[in-house]
Amino acid sequence: MTRLRIGTVAMAVAALVLAATVTAATPRLSVQPTSIARGGTVTVSGRGCLAGDLVYLISPPFVGHAFVAHSVATRARSNGSFSRHVRIRTHIRAGRYLITARCGGGNLGVSARLRVH
């Protein structure tokens, strides 16, 4: 009976550790502010990459050409998070734009929305 309890406790602890690991690794992407005038600067941040990964942030309003047109790059920190200030093009049509991210050779799988006015 004691052996069964110890096995059950060990399995419960392993499940909690696994759940915490999965939650910590859940990809996220956000932008602040979510609405900006042309020529302004936003901060794009997120998590879900491996430490040291090159992270590409991609959106039509971005000034840059790091990976493809309108992309900028940054490095993931030791905990997999990243953040970058990004300038918005001055000659971009007002509207809503999607921001995506790539790291480790693939899409991060999440996006953020930005309104340019």
Q: Where are the domains of the chain?
A: 27-116
Whether 7 has a pLDDT exceeding 60, the answer reads no
Residues 6 or more apart whose Cβ sits within 8 Å of residue 54: 73, 74, 75, 76, 103
Joined together, the tokens standing for residue 80 give 């997999």
pLDDT band at 16 (very low <50, low <70, confident <90, very high): very low
pLDDT digit string, tens, across residues 83-95: 999 999 999 999 9
CATH class as words, domain 27-116: mainly beta
pLDDT digit string, tens, across residues 40-66: 999 999 999 999 999 999 999 999 999
Distance CA 12, CA 20 (A): 12
Burial of 37 per CB tally in 10 Å (0-12, 13-18, 19+): exposed
The average confidence (pLDDT) of the chain is 87
